[in-house]
């Protein structure tokens, strides 16, 4: 059986539920076989032991009955012994045997009984064949008799036998019952194992079907989890992988679409300018000063092109912010961003007031986000306009004196490539505010757009942090300092 199970389990092309069913059946068959053999052996031993004790008790009573008249067996005959379902024999120390009168069954003596008669020590119990050809259980006990007028006892072995046929019949019935019910148990275990294997492996089959469906249809649909076992955890992990794959695919698709949409315009402009320069090289068709103007235009377009590619790559990533081991003072980040914005708006007034706000985050990405907000204010501020920057508590507010944001545009200002009617004539790709929203969200905060009291646009950024310096990076919650609203 073990060899058969090994052969089944070693065949890798068999279905897993078949191998599991075979393993369960083999386990049950082994348990049934061990239990059946143990039960049969214990029962056999108990029957033999009980028969030996009964024969020894009969031999003790018989010895008392024939004392003083051993060789005539106290007058016992075969018929009298047959009523007790026993047969008797007396073996003298010189090897001579005495049996009851009549045509009863005769036992066969052996050296075992002769040794007991001569040594008068111990007892024996064996299974032998009698004169009728049937199996008997035979015991022998030492027996000494002092005949009348004798001066010394005569030594014998008193041998008693009982037929084994009734007990053998019981053992045969027991063996047949154990074998029959054992086979039924194995078949039942196989059926139960088949059911358990199919139901237990159903989540794996669903995973297989899902993988096949994804391969054939290219549709990343999650699997419905069920229960609370390890296979359910596996299903959840598979769904997580599917969501990650779907997100990655969407980012890839979006990056390709965005790149195809946004890179076409600067590339077309660059191509036109380059073709003009080539035509001028051949024909000298451009007026004086036009060539330098085209080169400046190409340089500006290359700068815009580089910034656009950087924005697209930044938005295509979906990486979580890794907490820096040193806390960040947001005032430094804001001041650095203001310094950069002043170079882009030399005629503007920057009114900056900041309070301490310490947090754990990525200073470069935060500086870029705040710079984008300031660039937006610079872009729409009138000449000599004032840009207010206020960092109070966990709020950063940046407002300008430009035309402001229309109510219809407020819900869309952070959408990718969204540009209002007022912004269509200004340079930019429409990705700056999307980068702001993504960066602030990755740091556990939020950003909102509204109208300032001066009528211009106002952006409010909330970043969780603390007014007190953080002693260690562990003073955070999930990598970002916990701050209540």
Q: Is residue 468 part of a domain?
A: no
Asked whether residue 181 falls in the same domain as residue 246, the answer is no
Contact 373, 353 (CB under 8 A): no
Last residue within a domain, chosen from 289, 316, 343: 316
Quote the CA–CA distance of 81 and 98 in Å, as a whole number: 14
Q: What is the pLDDT of residue 308?
A: 64
Last residue within a domain, chosen from 180, 200, 220: 200
Quote the CA–CA distance of 119 and 416 in Å, as a whole number: 113
Q: What is the pLDDT of residue 324?
A: 46
Asked whether residue 342 falls in the same domain as residue 371, the answer is yes
- Of 335, 479, 346, 455, which Cα lies nearest the Cα of 401? 455
Q: Domain holding 277: CATH number?
A: 1.10.287
Asked whether residue 7 falls in the same domain as residue 97, the answer is yes
Q: What is the pLDDT of residue 199?
A: 73
Domain of residue 392: give its range: 328-462
Quote the CA–CA distance of 180 and 32 in Å, as a whole number: 11
Asked whether residue 193 falls in the same domain as residue 73, the answer is yes
Q: What is the pLDDT along the chain (485 residues), one digit of tens a residue?
A: 455 545 544 544 566 667 777 777 788 888 888 988 999 999 999 999 999 999 999 888 888 888 888 888 877 887 778 777 889 889 999 999 988 887 678 888 899 999 999 999 999 999 999 888 899 999 999 999 888 777 889 999 999 999 998 888 989 999 999 889 888 888 888 788 777 777 766 767 776 777 777 777 766 666 666 555 566 677 777 778 777 777 777 766 766 665 665 566 567 777 887 887 887 777 777 777 777 877 877 777 676 677 667 666 665 555 444 444 468 899 999 999 998 888 878 889 999 999 999 998 888 888 888 988 998 888 888 888 999 999 999 999 999 988 888 888 888 788 766 555 554 445 545 567 877 888 888 888 999 998 888 888 899 999 998 888 876 544 544 444 433 33
Q: Is residue 332 part of a domain?
A: yes
Q: What is the pLDDT of residue 425?
A: 47
Q: Is residue 51 part of a domain?
A: yes
DSSP annotation of 224: P
Query: pTM of the entire structure?
Result: 0.45
Q: Is residue 471 part of a domain?
A: no
Q: Is residue 477 part of a domain?
A: no
Q: How many domains in the chain?
A: 3
Whole-angstrom CA distances from 123 to 60, 114, 142, 260, 311 are 12, 11, 7, 106, 104
Asked whether residue 192 falls in the same domain as residue 222, the answer is no
Asked whether residue 266 falls in the same domain as residue 380, the answer is no
């Amino acid at each position: 059986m073990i060899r058969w199970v090994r052969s089944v389990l070693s065949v890798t092309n068999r279905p897993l539920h078949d191998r599991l069913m075979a393993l369960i059946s083999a386990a049950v068959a082994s348990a049934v076989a061990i239990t059946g053999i143990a039960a049969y052996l214990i029962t056999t031993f108990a029957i033999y032991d009980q028969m030996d004790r009964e024969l020894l008790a009969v031999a003790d009573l018989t010895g008392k009955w024939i004392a003083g008249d051993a060789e005539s067996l106290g007058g016992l005959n075969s018929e009298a012994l047959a009523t007790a379902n026993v047969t008797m024999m007396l073996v003298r120390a010189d090897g001579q045997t005495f049996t009851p009168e009549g045509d009863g069954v005769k036992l066969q003596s052996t050296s075992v009984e002769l040794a007991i008669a001569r040594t008068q020590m111990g007892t024996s119990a064996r299974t032998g064949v009698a004169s009728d050809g049937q199996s008997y259980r035979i015991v022998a006990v030492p027996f000494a008799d002092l005949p009348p007028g004798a001066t010394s006892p005569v030594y014998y072995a008193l041998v008693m036998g009982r037929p084994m046929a009734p007990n053998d019949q019981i053992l045969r019935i027991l063996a047949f019952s154990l074998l029959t019910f054992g086979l039924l148990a194995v078949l039942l275990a196989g059926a139960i194992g088949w059911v358990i294997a199919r139901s237990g492996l159903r989540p794996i089959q669903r995973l297989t079907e899902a993988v096949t469906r994804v391969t054939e249809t290219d549709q990343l649909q999650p699997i419905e989890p069920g229960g609370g076992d390890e296979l359910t955890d596996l299903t959840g992990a598979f769904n997580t992988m599917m969501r990650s794959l779907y997100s990655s695919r969407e980012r890839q698709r979006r990056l390709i679409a965005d790149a195809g949409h946004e890179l076409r315009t600067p590339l077309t402009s660059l191509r036109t300018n380059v073709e003009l320069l080539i035509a001028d090289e051949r024909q000298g068709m451009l007026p004086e000063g036009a060539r330098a103007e085209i080169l400046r235009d190409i340089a500006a377009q290359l700068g815009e092109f580089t910034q656009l590619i950087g924005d697209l790559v930044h938005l295509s990533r979906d990486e979580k912010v890794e907490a820096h081991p040193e806390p960040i003072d947001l005032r430094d980040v804001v001041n650095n961003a203001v310094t950069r914005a002043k170079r882009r708006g030399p005629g503007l007034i920057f009114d900056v007031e900041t309070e301490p706000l310490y947090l754990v985050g990525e200073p470069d990405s935060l500086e870029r986000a705040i710079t984008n907000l300031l660039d937006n204010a610079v872009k729409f501020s009138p000449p000599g306009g004032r840009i207010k920057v206020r960092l109070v508590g966990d709020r950063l507010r940046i407002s300008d004196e430009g035309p402001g944001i229309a109510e219809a545009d407020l819900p869309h200002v952070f959408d990718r490539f969204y540009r209002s009617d007022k912004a269509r004539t200004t340079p930019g790709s429409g990705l700056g505010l999307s980068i702001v929203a993504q960066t602030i969200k990755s740091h556990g905060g939020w950003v909102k757009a509204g109208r300032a009291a001066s009528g211009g646009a106002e952006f409010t950024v909330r970043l969780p942090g603390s007014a007190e310096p953080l002693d260690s990076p562990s003073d955070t919650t999930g990598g970002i300092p916990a701050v209540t609203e």
